[in-house]
Chains A and B, each alone.
Chain A
Amino acid sequence: MFVTLNEIVQDIIILLSQAAGTGTQRYSQPRIELIVNNLFDQLYARQWWPDLMEFYDLPLDGVNGLVVGDISAVKRWQDLHGVFYDGSDKPLPILPMTNYNPNSVSAGSAMYISPQNAVADKVFRVWSKTAIGNVQFWARLHPGRYTANQTVKFDRTALVLGGAWAYAEDDGSNPGATQKFQNMFDSRMNILENELKDKPFTTRPGMSQIPSQWSSHNA
């Protein structure tokens, strides 16, 4: 279950034996909020967390190799999991930047993807730029900096333990407690990452349906 940033911060405050209550800790609360946001940024990029993933199916503009539609929630090139051209099970590879002239790509055919910075809120470009049709892709979405009342789409326990460890480390008090927070945070992250593997998955992606009747072809 996901909770707001303020609830995570209050949990950390209680763990650190500080007086709890929204607005009570004038000087540690903003710092803990920053710690939690920074921690989220670190952990966000660590796995393809399902709760942060989104699927897109968008047409290409046929001119610049850009998709038509709003993908502003995809913040970084690294957040693209894989881009598929219409109907294909094979993801488009990354355009080589050495020994290959991008203009060599056959016009109208979608062969590669590359990062792009010319147009805001579009993190990739399909080569050749004149390809038309749709592309499908999974992307990891970053919500931006969380504010107090926003729901944080990450495991509460991991953020609380990691935040407590990060704050306690700077306090210089009770080294055992700081180590404890660190150990518990590591343990929690191991659990979360192991859970990702604990789902059935296909070993042969792209395999079509098992045929249930014969058909013939003209030679």
Chain B
Amino acid sequence: MRSASGGQITRRKETLKPTTIRDFSGGLNVIDSELNLNSRFSVILRNMFLGSDGSLQVRYGTEIFAQLGNGREIINMSYYRRFLIAVCDDGTIWANDSAGNSVVIWDDSQAQTLPNAPNAWGTLDFVTFAQFKGFLLATNGIDKPVIVDENLRVDYLNDLGTGSNVNTPIGRLITRHQDYVIIAGDPLAPGVLHISARGTSGTYLGDPDPNDAVDFDLSAFVNEGTPDIRAISSFRDKLTVQFSSTTLIVTLGTYDADGNHTPLVEDTIAEHGSLGQRVLQDLGDDFLGADRAGVSAISRALFTGSIQPERLSQLVDPSIQRALGNLSELALQNNTFAIYERLDGIYMLFAPTDSDWDVAWQTKGFAFRYVPKLKLKAWSEFTHWKWRCAARSQDGRIFFARDDKIYRYGSSQEPLYADYMGEVEEFSDGTYFTDNTGWTPVVSFAQSGLGIPFTWELPWADFDQRMLSKMLKYLKLDVIGRGRFTVETFIDNTYEDREFTGQEFLDDTLFDDGFGFVTDDPPLLPELSMEFVGGDALGFGSDFGQYFGSGRTTREELLYAWTTKANLVKMRVSGRSREPLRFVSLSLLYQNGTIRR
């Protein structure tokens, strides 16, 4: 009798090959063809960033910090002496303490206590700040600038000798450089720097002596674009003055033989300008900003000391340019802004999706993890937010504002894993409104907040054997955290559902021609799809009420079958998490096949 299996000993050999992706340092790359990209780059990296340990981490969430309660829109805010100073669109200025208590410090009633009982600011759509000698200065391009002291008393910025602000210029932009205050963006002289007298903030050209204030016209130095100053900022010992596509490096503090202040234009950097004042961030060694072409840095050369520019956003320029391309000049200047998250080293640039602020459904964020000493330069996108402005506190906490509310952004020291915690809740099925708002009021802080949707997609991979088919066998992930996510595999350039005719109406019907609405998110066609949970997730029973069963935990060292045959393979991870989640590595076991697909 023959044995059941045939009984023969077959010559076998090990043909299973492992491959592991654990280097994600490339970040988002939308410029190179994804058929040629290395696996350390991602073609979609949404609401995630490169962590300090090299893992890909879901971004932090936010919690409600303060609400002014005035029903207005916060236009901009700044951190000043343990307070967040917020300016609203009605011209009022509010101070928010560390407990989130808000008090108005500047309105008509406050202003009319001043000599001559002036009115306070009127309606506005733009504000910039500067700090000089312990005072906070603010200007809006419509009204005279104001000054806030350490007791949160607000006054119009004036010449201390006369008490008058008749010569204080009106400008959209204000900054401090060395011992001077500079105001620019004067609607009557858009190419002029109004430089204060040395050591003063309120003494300008025309005020009585002693006064070395000067107005410096830079329009002659601009060869391209409009000579309207878009941004001014101090970088090390230089004043940077940005136009739409040119940057001037100016040195202050030089005087002629007659004692007149004679600023010098030391350098002109063409093809590097700025969208506006609010996109500039000083990182210390580097100075980051953004123009229509993308994000660039200015740094000081090591040996020569000269200022040199560097484009940092080449890998994501198409995405940034697409986000900025639809915006009007005014929207670019007023509504784009940036903030530098110092604790994780992330420069975040935000741009609304529409020039009309009320129509825009989000401010699309481009996050740049930039730590040059560690060679960390990785882009990603932060979405599902709509912020008007941001500020950073002395200890590095980031605050965002929208409407009349201020939110604290989580950090590695004080993490938050859902958005708008303390303010809104998800529905019981874990979803929320399509405009990224949730249900109010909240029952408990821990259960509040909206899950953060994230997506990470790798380029097409051929495992260095382009012509051979591959048999995928098993999948293994190393994931820290407790969140749930879905892993999908696409094969052989099959990505979108090409039979998709468009989005249907709510009653599932289409137009008479058989097509539906155009959508930015057509359905995808993965070959494989499976849901997992992070390796720190608790087992069945511990999460009772939230999850049924423990899910496919990634701490499991046993194998998960992941079987398909393909020449090209693309991996995608997505989900919506309210728990910590960090992706450390992704491994596949596969066999090489033949050329016959």
Which residues of A approach B to under 8 Å, CB–CB?
Answer: 16-20, 24-29, 31, 43, 46, 158, 162, 165, 169, 171-175, 178-179, 182, 185-186, 188-190, 193
Contact = CB atoms under 8 A, between A and B. Distances in A.
A33 B204 CA distance: 86
B185 to A, nearest CB: 59
Contacts of A29: 561
Contacts of A43: 4
Nearest to A166: B5
Contact of A186 (B3, B530, B563): B3
A19 B16 contact: no
A40 B552 CA distance: 30
Contacts of A175: 12-14
Given A19-B552, A19-B556, A173-B15, A25 B561 contact: yes
Contact of A179 (B1, B3, B9, B473): B9
A24 B4 contact: no
Contacts of B5: 162, 165, 182, 185-186
Contact of B563 (A27, A169, A182, A190): A27
B432 interface: no
B7 interface: yes
Contact of B3 (A28, A173, A189): A189
Interchain residue pairs A-B with the least CB separation, the first 10: A28-B561, A172-B15, A175-B12, A189-B4, A173-B16, A186-B3, A19-B558, A18-B559, A27-B563, A27-B561
A193 B560 contact: no
Contacts of B14: 172-175
B589 A173 contact: yes
A46 B558 contact: no
Contact of B559 (A17, A31, A178): A17
A77 B72 CA distance: 86
B12 A179 contact: yes
Contacts of B15: 172-173
Contacts, number: 74
A18 B12 contact: no
Contacts of B558: 17-20
Contacts of A158: 4
Name, among B3, B15, B562, the residue most crowded by chain A CB atoms within 10 Å (CB to CB).
B3
Contacts of A165: 5
A15 to B, nearest CB: 11
By DSSP majority rule, is chain B's interface helix, strand, loop, or mixed? Answer: loop
A201 to B, nearest CB: 18
B535 to A, nearest CB: 13
Nearest to B551: A24
Given A186-B5, A190-B3, A16 B562 contact: no
A175 B589 CA distance: 16
A62 B4 CA distance: 43
B560 A19 contact: yes
A36 to B, nearest CB: 14
B13 A28 contact: no
Nearest to A193: B1
18 contacts: A17-B559, A26-B561, A27-B528, A27-B561, A28-B563, A29-B561, A162-B5, A171-B16, A172-B13, A172-B14, A172-B473, A173-B16, A173-B473, A173-B589, A186-B3, A186-B7, A189-B3, A189-B4
Interface string B1-34: 1011101011011111000000000000000000
A174 to B, nearest CB: 7
Contacts of A190: 3-4
Nearest to A24: B552
A17 B589 CA distance: 14
A163 to B, nearest CB: 12
Interface in B531-575: 552, 556, 558-564
A172 B564 CA distance: 15
Contacts of B12: 169, 172, 175, 178-179
Given A173-B16, A182-B5, A190-B3, 6 more contacts: A17-B559, A28-B561, A31-B561, A46-B4, A175-B13, A188-B4
A25 B530 CA distance: 9
A179 B12 CA distance: 9
Contacts of A193: 1
B102 interface: no
A182 B12 CA distance: 12
B4 A27 contact: no
Interface string B82-113: 00000000000000000000000000000000
A175 B9 CA distance: 11
Nearest to A25: B561
Nearest to B475: A27
A162 B5 CA distance: 8
Contacts of B4: 43, 46, 158, 162, 185-186, 188-190
Nearest to B549: A21
B585 interface: no
B591 interface: yes
A140 to B, nearest CB: 17
Contacts of A19: 552, 556, 558-560
Nearest to B527: A27
A165 B9 CA distance: 13
A18 B474 CA distance: 9
A106 to B, nearest CB: 41
Interface string B140-154: 000000000000000
Contacts of B564: 27
Nearest to B13: A175
Contacts of A162: 4-5
A165 B15 CA distance: 16
Contacts of A20: 558
B88 to A, nearest CB: 53
Name, among A20, A26, A169, A174, the residue most crowded by chain B CB atoms within 10 Å (CB to CB).
A26
Contacts of A169: 12
Contacts of A182: 5
B556 to A, nearest CB: 5
A172 B591 contact: yes
A16 B559 contact: yes
B345 to A, nearest CB: 37
Nearest to A172: B15
Given A173-B589, A179-B12, A186-B7, A27 B562 contact: yes
A182 B10 CA distance: 10
Name, among B552, B558, B591, the residue most crowded by chain A CB atoms within 10 Å (CB to CB).
B558
A19 B591 CA distance: 20
Nearest to A192: B4
A18 B473 contact: no
Nearest to A189: B4
Interface string B465-492: 0000000011000000000000000000
Contacts of B3: 186, 189-190
Nearest to B564: A27
Interface string B446-464: 0000000000000000000
Nearest to A167: B561
A193 B16 CA distance: 35
Contacts of B1: 193
